[in-house]
Structures are given as structure tokens and as C-alpha cells.
Structure 1
Amino acid sequence: MLYSIGKVLCILYFRLFYRLRVIGRENIPSSGPLLLCANHPTALDMFLVACMVPRRKVHYMAKAELFRNRFLAWIIRSLGAFPVSRGKGDVGSVKTVYKLLESGKIVGMFPEGTRTRKKDPNKRKPGIALFALHSGAPVLPVAIKGDFRLFRRVDLIFGKPYKVTSEAADGTGKSYPKEELVRISNEIIDSIYALMDQ
């Protein structure tokens, strides 16, 4: 209920205060697991993307500090977020991602890790490659284009989902060379930024 109300309010906000153009929404699968991967220029990104995904809830990782306040934690969880401890391995959040995907949910991620206004090769994390390879969930690239100044143009572009594959795993199929993970992560991030040039 809270998610639906929040979604309506977000749609009204973005429609009223920005010249919003949404492209490719038909590319979003209506069911099944999905890794939604977007660039991250502003703090509003997760709200913009989530409210423009029709009929489905998008689950995001959010920094653990936001969950210290019980009331705020309740709101954030109701909106589909779950905590992650940044800067160290967080096994719990990783398990949550796989559990959500196994349940056929959408998990939203920002593969560059932090907010960035432009393509930055130094802000590329291999984690997204692991999630894509181990879960087998399709990747949906999403590009956010605009400066988010009031009444300015903002484009939200949904690309076509695709599956990530690799033949570089060890004999168990569970471990991949770091170079391969970096390559796949770069491929995913490049597919996001390529949408801006179309």
C-alpha cells in the first residue's frame, strides 16, 4: 500500500517539475527475475526509475546508515529497499539479492557504485557481473539523462534486456577471474551509456 502511494506521488512530482520523457518502457519484462542496472547522476535516481516501472516493484540496496532510525527504516523497507554495509563484504545483502531474483523480483542496481555525472572508468565495480552470472537473471540497462534542474528536460531510457554469459569460469562454474568480471561489468555499464547516444 505504502509503495503504491509513494509511486503515485513520485510520478506526480517528476511529471510536474521536470520535462520528463520516458523511452522504451515496453522493454521491461512483465514477470520474471531482472537486474535493472542504471547510471547514477543524482539522489533522485532510484525514485525516478522505480516509479516509471509499470505494475512491478523495484528493490534496491540502500546504505545501512539509513536503517538506524526505526521509522525511516520502516518506510524504506516498505518502498522495497534493503540495507547494505558499504566498504566491506556484506554477505546478508548479497543473499537478499539472490533470494529476490530467485523469487522473480526486480533488483535495481547502480553498477558504478556511487553517484557520477559522467562516464568514469574509475567507478566500475565487478559485483554486478557476479550477480548477473550467478543468478542467470537478464540485465536491463537503463539510462538517466538530464541535470535535474527544475523544469528542465530529463530522459529516462529503458534498453532491451539481455543475458550475460561467460566461458571463463573454473571447473565448478562458480568462480571467475577478476579480469572477466571487470570485462562484463564494463560491458553492462557501456550498454547503459550507449542508450544516451541513440
Structure 2
Amino acid sequence: MNVLYEIGKGLFYFYFKLFNRLEIRGLENFPEDKSVLLCSNHISNLDPPLVGSASPRMVHFMAKEELFKNPIAKGILNGVGAFPIKRGMSDKQAIRKAMTLLKSDKVVGLFPEGTRSKTRKLGKGLTGAGFFALRSNSHILPCAITGSYKPFNKIIVTFGKPIEFSSLREEKASAKEATEKIMEAIDQLLSENS
């Protein structure tokens, strides 16, 4: 058990419940064990603590490398199980870390768009999500964040049913095709819960 993570999760859960009337949907879809690749839309810097506080299991988030340059932020991020990824290039160290976590039946969280959507509309997914989905035997779990972070507005986190990926793995689909399937599942959740 990661004490720092559990404390942070409890504080953020209390904050989002109090100030954003947090509602969590689809918890029954979250696998209780085995590895999970959790893929969500990205609308705010608050998305990782929101999704982490809504998730029933510890989530190891990929975070942009720039966040780890501040020693205090680096200590906190490392302490809660996040790990850095270089954006815009193939980061072998981040790939190895994610695959190690997935092989150890952990939950890896990522935002396939790679950056926040300024329009709040779902952007194009980067192929990294598809790469991890194809290369691991993980459950691929789509997640949608809807609502608003404005104080006292409602925010909803919805976990969808794990995406069926066995056929794509057997067909040796491309990372791009796999990512498109993940983005379609997130988009459907957004439509159903907006």
C-alpha cells in the first residue's frame, strides 16, 4: 500500500465531492485484478488526481517530463507512482516502465490525446495508447470526464466496459488502428454521459 497515494487520493476525493459534486459511474467495469491500461480524455491539469481519486485501484500515470524538473513536484509525482514521458518522441525508458507495470498486473493511466483539449472536444489519439494495448495482455479500459471543474458544478467520471482487443492482437493491427478503437470507445462514453 502506497501511503502517500492513499492520503492524496482521499484529499482529492473529498475536494472533488465537495466542490464539484463528483459522480463516479461504471465502477463495476473496473477489473479488480490483472493489468489495466486506463485511457481517458484530457480537459484539465486536474484530470490525473480526479481519475485517480475516482479509481478503485492505484493508477500509475504517465506525466510529461517537464513536470519532473521541479524537485518538489518530482518527489511528489514519484511518491504517488507517476513516471515521466518525453513528448513528441519515442521514450524507451517510459515504454519499459509502463510495460513492467502492466506485466506486474498494475494500472497504467494515460491520456491518449497527449495534451489537454482547449475546446473540451476529444482530439486525435497518439499511437502510444495503441502500442501499449497491443503489446500487453492488459484490460483496455476507456474513461470519460464530463462536466466542469468550476466550483459547485458537477463533474462525472465514467469507466466504460473493457474494450475487446483479442481480435486486433491476433490480426496484428497497427498501433494507429488500435488507438482509433480506444478513441472511439472514449468518444462513445462522452456522448452517453454529456
TM-score normalized by the length of structure 1: 0.89
Q: What secondary structure, in the 3-state scheme, does the structure 2 residue paired with 1:16 have?
A: helix
Q: What secondary structure, in the 3-state scheme, does the structure 1 residue paired with 2:22 have?
A: strand
Letter in 2 for 1:134: R
Query: Could you tell me how far 1:168 is from its partner in structure 2?
Result: 4.0
- Match status 1:119 vs 2:122: yes
CA distance in 2 between counterparts of 1:42 and 1:70 reads: 22
What is aligned with 2:55? 53
CA distance in 2 between counterparts of 1:184 and 1:51 reads: 27
Query: Could you tell me how far 1:127 is from its partner in structure 2?
Result: 1.4
Cα pair 1:137 1:163 within 8 Å, conserved: no
What is aligned with 1:106? 107
What is aligned with 1:172? none
CA distance in 2 between counterparts of 1:195 and 1:63 reads: 25
Deviations, residues 35-92 of structure 1 (Å, cap 9, x unaligned): 00000011111111111112x2100111112222333211111112101111222100
Cα pair 2:10 2:53 within 8 Å, conserved: yes
Q: What secondary structure, in the 3-state scheme, does the structure 2 residue paired with 1:35 have?
A: strand
Cα pair 2:134 2:178 within 8 Å, conserved: no
1:77-92 equivalences in 2 (<5 Å): 77-92=78-93
Give the length in aligned residue pairs: 186
Kindly, what percent of the aligned residue pairs are identical?
42
CA distance in 2 between counterparts of 1:181 and 1:75 reads: 32
CA distance in 1 between counterparts of 2:73 and 2:126 reads: 28
Structure 2, unpaired ranges of 5+: none
Moved more, 90-99 or 186-195: 186-195
Q: Which has the higher helix share?
A: 2
Choose from 19, 22, 27 the match for 1:20: 22
Structure 1, unpaired ranges of 5+: 170-175
What is aligned with 2:175? 181
Choose from 172, 181, 188 the match for 1:194: 188
CA distance in 1 between counterparts of 2:79 and 2:137 reads: 27
Which of 1 and 2 has greater Rg? 1
TM-score normalized by the length of structure 2: 0.90
Cα pair 1:136 1:163 within 8 Å, conserved: no
Query: Could you tell me how far 1:20 is from its partner in structure 2?
Result: 1.8
CA distance in 2 between counterparts of 1:67 and 1:196 reads: 31
CA distance in 2 between counterparts of 1:20 and 1:119 reads: 21
Report the aligned-residue RMSD.
Answer: 1.4
Deviations, residues 133-174 of structure 1 (Å, cap 9, x unaligned): 1112110000000121111121111111134232443xxxxx
What is aligned with 1:5? 7
Q: What secondary structure, in the 3-state scheme, does the structure 2 residue paired with 1:46 have?
A: helix
Q: What secondary structure, in the 3-state scheme, does the structure 2 residue paired with 1:156 have?
A: strand
Cα pair 1:141 1:158 within 8 Å, conserved: yes
